Structures are given as structure tokens and as C-alpha cells.
Amino acid sequence: MSIRLTEEKVFKDPVHRYIHVQDKLLWDLIGTSEFQRLRRVRQLGTTSFTFHGAEHSRFNHSLGVYEIMRRLITNFSDKPMWNDEDRLLALSAALLHDIGHGPFSHSFEKVFDTDHEEWTRLIILGDTEVNDVLRHVHADFPKEVAAVIEKTSANKLVTSMISSQIDADRMDYLLRDAYYTGVSYGQFDLERILRVMRPMGDQVVVKASGMHAVEDYIMSRYQMYWQVYFHPVTRSSEVILSKILKRVKVLHEEGYPFKQPPHHFESIFSNAMTIEDYLQLDESVMHYYFQCWQKEEDPILEDLCHRFLNRRLFAYVECHPNERLTDIMALQELFWEAGMDPDYYLEMDSSSDLPYDVYRPGEEQRVPIQLLMKNGQLKELSSESDVVESISGKKRTDHKLYYPADTIATLDPTIRLKIESILEQM
């Protein structure tokens, strides 16, 4: 069933040195237009506004996840429960797990209420090149791959290798995002962690001797979230992006006469988006529209697009929405007065992360990390590690209020001082 390439193909990779492809199936998947499209979707969306180095694509990351999975499987290859189809299933799922990501996923999904995981399923199961390649294994193979990515597969072992608290996806993105941003936080000893991982029944467990390496990985994740992923400058650019998409939607509904009509968005406005439509919406296309819309008559759309393309971002203050409700409402009034629609120019944004959590009945399932003790017992990580225990289950939330400080600075002093005085007290 599995056809080996006559000669192994390699990709030079700055994170894993080389990425090795040995199966025709994987090589063909990489060559599909749906996978190549990931070159035009950035891994970290607007993060490069904050960390200019982070311009890498989801294509780049997807190859990395595949490579970590390949190494993990190589370590497991002498385990009896493992067969060649499991191997192909794990590798394909690793490579394709992000195939449904659209442009600037976070903002896009929020505004249009779509879900990249649903698109992943549709692309794998639909009339696509990816589906065609996967069917060469056998007719049900696409379904099996989709089930692994969706976490509904009966093969819980493979599922946990790609979606758990210590999976190929997370391990690659921490290392890769740290490499491209240039921060040191995301570093951990991948090789050591791969060496201490063991398949055991339905899950991958970690030998207790590797506990400190796993602690280090959990701390890397914690640091990357607060230092990189939730950086307020990045969030500011996402606020603007969301506002652009929202404005376009509103204008479209109102029958606004666009100079450059949002052709690529029409099917999503009417809830009739096909796979083909979706696949065409990459970040280049979005940038094209933003550039054109800088010349629209609508001052809000024009201003927001100008801000996004030229990095004229919103400023922010820390502020808890519940405690500051009166102030926020006062600001909204003042914004209206000053001619700035607060629906577009004043935004409360909250980020929160749960760096590590143990499964609790009734909650969304998160597979906890199990340590394999010398005596053969399993113990959940946070019960053994003080450091992990200290952050386990603690949801940290960070609230910020975003506003256009540059525009406010140009307002008439009467109103400007009122606005600034409220902001300063926050």
C-alpha cells in the first residue's frame, strides 16, 4: 500500500535542519494546490507588525509538524501495535491539520462565524486534489485522516499525537515561532522529549525521567503566549482587521457602491461559500482589496485600510470591562460626538490562556500529560511538578481597550481633553 519514493526527498529547514519525505503519498500531498496555498497564509497572521521576523507561512509550519511526527513514529517503529497504515495516517494528518486555515484566521472566523476546522474537513473530504491523493491509499482513507484531525477517530493514539497538550503541532509551532521572531522563550529540548515519549494504549505517555524536559516545554508555551501570541500590538492590528471586515460586510448589506466591489467575499456574505471560493481567499487577495479600499469614499473603510497597510495601529490601556463600564459608555458618547463611530474605533479586547489543564468531567476534553513512573504507574504531570501545578487550570485573562490615539490627538481640545482624561484614569 505504501509506495516509497525511489530516492528520499529533503527540504532544508531552519528549525529541524532537514525535513525528510520518503513516501509518494506525502510527496503528492505536498504538491497539491490546496497545500501549496498555505504558502500564502502566514502562520502568525499580523504578528509581524510586532516581531518583524515572523513572516513565515502555514506551509512552513505544516512541514515541520509532519517532520516531528515522522521522528516520533521512527522512535515508535519497533512497537508491536504499529502498522504501516497507522504510519501514513499519522503523517497525513500531521501534514494536513492546518489545511483549512484561511487568511488571518482569528479575525476572519470571528467576523464571518466560520471555523477553520470545518474547512479542513471539507477540503479533505470534498472534490479536491488532496482528497484525490488520499484516496489512492483506499476509499475511506480521507475520512480516517479527517477523523484524526477532528479528534473523532477510533485511533486515539494517533489522534493524541497530533492533538494533545504535548503534540507534534504545538512542539513545532513553539520552536518555529521562537526561531522566526528571534525570542528565546520557545526553546526546549525536542530531541529529549521525543526520546521519552512512549505509545501506551490509547495515548502517548512520557517517561518520568523526562519530566523536567516537559516542564520546560510547558513553560515555553506559557511564555510564548504572553510574550508573542497575545502581544498587545498584534492584538491592536487584529482589532483593525476585524473592523475592516465588519465594515465591508455592513457596507455590502447597505448597498454601498464600491469602487472595488468585494467579489471574493460575496459568497461568504450570502452564506454560500464553496470550497473553491474559500481556497481563493488567501492573504494576498485580502491585501489586494485593502489596498484598493484605501481609495473608497467611505471614510471608515478608507481609514481602517490605510491604518492596516501602513501600521497606524490603535493605542491601548489596560482596563477591566466590568469595572469600567461607566467610563467606556462615557467614551462611546464622546466618540460619537467627535465623529468617530465607536463600533469601529473603540474596542475592548480580552485574551486568555490556560497554559496546562487536567481533564475535568463535563468540561471540554483536554488530554492531560501522563508520566510513566519506574514502577509502571501513570501519574498526571501537575501532580508531580510544582511548576506545572502552579499554572495548571489557572486561566489568565488580560483586558485591553483599543482606541485611535493619533486621531484623538487631532481633535478639538474641548473634546480631546475629556477623552484623554478618562483614558488616563483607567
Q: Which residues here bind a second copy, judged by CB under 8 A?
A: 10-15, 17-18, 31-33, 36-37, 39-40, 48, 51-53, 55-57, 59-60, 63, 179-185, 187-189, 191-192, 195, 212, 215-216, 219, 222-223, 226-227, 280, 282-288, 291, 309-311, 386-387, 389-391, 394, 396
Q: Cβ(304)–Cβ(247) under 8 Å?
A: yes
Question: Which backbone phi and psi does 272 adopt, to 5 degrees?
Answer: -130, 30
Query: Which one, 272 or 374, has the nearer CB to a second copy?
Result: 374
Minimum CB separation of residue 334 from a second copy in Å reads: 24
Residue 318 and residue 341: Cα distance in Å, rounded? 21
Closest Cα partner for 19 from 29, 10, 27, 8?
Answer: 10
DSSP 73-106: HHHHTTSTT--HHHHHHHHHHHHHTTTT--TTHH
Minimum CB separation of residue 283 from a second copy in Å reads: 7
Minimum CB separation of residue 257 from a second copy in Å reads: 18
Query: Which one, 56 or 324, has the nearer CB to a second copy?
Result: 56
Residue 331 and residue 419: Cα distance in Å, rounded? 6
Residue 323 and residue 179: Cα distance in Å, rounded? 39
SS3 316: strand
Q: Measured between alpha carbons, how far is residue 140 from residues 23, 32, 94 in Å? A: 19, 19, 18
Minimum CB separation of residue 280 from a second copy in Å reads: 6
Burial tier of 245 (Cβ tally within 10 Å: 0-12, 13-18, 19+) = buried
Burial tier of 272 (Cβ tally within 10 Å: 0-12, 13-18, 19+) = exposed
Query: Which one, 289 or 402, has the nearer CB to a second copy?
Result: 289
Minimum CB separation of residue 278 from a second copy in Å reads: 13
Minimum CB separation of residue 223 from a second copy in Å reads: 6
Query: Which one, 18 or 359, has the nearer CB to a second copy?
Result: 18
Query: Which one, 138 or 394, has the nearer CB to a second copy?
Result: 394
Query: Which one, 185 or 265, has the nearer CB to a second copy?
Result: 185
Question: Which residues on neighbouring strands pair with residue 371, listed in sequence order?
Answer: 206, 379
Query: Which one, 158 or 206, has the nearer CB to a second copy?
Result: 206
- Assign residue 376 a region (left: φ > 0; alpha: ψ between -120 and 50; beta: otherwise): left
Query: Which one, 74 or 83, has the nearer CB to a second copy?
Result: 74
Q: Measured between alpha carbons, how far is residue 209 from residues 294, 373, 374 in Å? A: 57, 8, 9
Minimum CB separation of residue 22 from a second copy in Å reads: 13
Residue 316 and residue 239: Cα distance in Å, rounded? 11
Query: Which one, 289 or 403, has the nearer CB to a second copy?
Result: 289
DSSP 178-246: HHHH--STT---HHHHHHHEEEETTEEEEEGGGHHHHHHHHHHHHHHIIIIIT-HHHHHHHHHHHHHHH
Query: Which one, 12 or 364, has the nearer CB to a second copy?
Result: 12
The C-alpha cell of 385 is what?
511538578
Minimum CB separation of residue 155 from a second copy in Å reads: 28
Minimum CB separation of residue 190 from a second copy in Å reads: 9
Minimum CB separation of residue 215 from a second copy in Å reads: 7
Residue 247 and residue 253: Cα distance in Å, rounded? 10
